[in-house]
């Protein structure tokens, strides 16, 4: 019965017979209108505006927060992120979507510590892949005629927004430098804050040679080198630096 009901929702949506209220209720649970693409001549992923819209929101989240670790309590985006991991785990995700997600350093495996869930590995964004996606998604013509089908206008707008978000991500060096996942048991907020300051110093000056007279950051950098030399630095911090 549930499978029949789900199929009926997709049919109603496709025919334009579903109310906006129901659309919003379903989308808030991460419901997907377009099923997995198969071997159609024109892959459905190219026209899956809903999925790409959520992906764009994820890119914007990464720009703001520096990671893809969207908590479920965050709302529709959090549920959507959880859903992507489940689909990938069940081997039901297309390579197209995998490529899009992995380009921004999306981590598939999560590790629960207490009540919180954390990525189980470091993030590895791929600027080259992002550049290719930007070129693919960027509309070839912005000036569509008024007579253009609404579906085409929607696809162009979705692609335009996605390309813009990815380009902003690509241009933001600090986000890509800071975007790395920590292991929760080893996190020291104060150390992480100084590390972030060092990243910004690197972006501004082109090196990590912070002089002692620079203030607290200079003192912190000197201490990191001393701890490393004395063999008192954790592998976690070594990996970060």
Higher pLDDT, residue 172 or 40: 172
Distance CA 179, CA 66 (A): 5
Number of residues written out for the chain: 241
3-class secondary-structure state, position 222: helix
| SS3 assignment, position 23 | helix
Angle between helices 76-89 and 49-65 (to 10 degrees): 110
Per-residue pLDDT at 143: 66
Burial (CB count within 10 angstroms: exposed 0-12, middle 13-18, buried 19+), residue 102: middle
Average pLDDT over residues 104-119: 73
* Tokens coding 105: 């350093």
DSSP state, residue 228: H
- Give the pLDDT of residue 212: 83
pLDDT of residue 142: 63
Structure-token pair, residue 215: 């203030």
Report pLDDT digits (tens) over 154-213. Answer: 778 888 999 999 999 988 876 766 665 444 445 577 888 888 888 888 888 888 999 988
How far lies 204's CA from each of 98, 103, 129, 172, 201, in Å? 34, 26, 26, 13, 5
Percent of the chain with pLDDT over 90: 22
Residue 240 banded pLDDT, cuts 50, 70, 90:
confident
Q: Is the pLDDT of residue 37 over 50?
A: no
* CA–CA separation, 130 and 167 (whole Å): 8
pLDDT higher for 111 or 191? 191
Q: Does residue 164 or residue 233 have the better pLDDT?
A: 164
**Integer Cα distance of 68 and 165 in angstroms:** 14
pLDDT of residue 101 exceeding 90, the answer is yes
- What pLDDT band is residue 122 in, cutting at 50, 70 and 90? low
Instruction: Note the pTM of the prediction, 2 decimals.
Output: 0.59
């Amino acid at each position: 019965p549930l499978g029949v009901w789900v199929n009926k929702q997709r049919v109603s949506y496709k025919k334009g017979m579903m109310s906006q209220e129901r659309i919003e209720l379903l989308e808030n649970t991460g419901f997907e209108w377009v099923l997995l693409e198969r071997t159609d001549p024109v892959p459905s992923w190219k026209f899956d505006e809903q999925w790409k819209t959520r992906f764009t929101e994820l890119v914007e989240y990464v720009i703001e927060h520096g990671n893809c670790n969207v908590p479920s309590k965050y709302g529709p985006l959090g549920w959507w992120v959880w859903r992507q991991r489940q689909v990938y785990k069940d081997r039901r995700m297309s390579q197209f979507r995998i490529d899009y997600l992995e380009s921004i350093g999306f981590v598939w495996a999560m590790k629960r510590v207490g009540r919180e869930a954390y990525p189980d590995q470091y993030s590895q964004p791929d600027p080259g892949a992002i550049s290719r996606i930007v070129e693919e998604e960027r509309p070839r013509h912005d000036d569509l005629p008024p007579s253009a089908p609404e579906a085409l206008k929607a696809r162009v707008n979705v692609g335009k927004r996605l390309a813009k978000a990815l380009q902003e991500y690509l241009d933001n060096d600090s986000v890509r430098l800071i975007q790395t996942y920590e292991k929760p048991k080893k996190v020291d907020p104060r150390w992480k804050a100084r590390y972030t300051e060092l990243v910004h110093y690197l972006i501004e000056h082109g090196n990590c040679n912070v002089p002692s007279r620079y203030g607290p950051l200079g003192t912190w950098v000197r201490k990191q080198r001393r701890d490393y030399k004395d063999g008192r630095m954790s592998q976690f911090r070594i990996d970060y630096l």
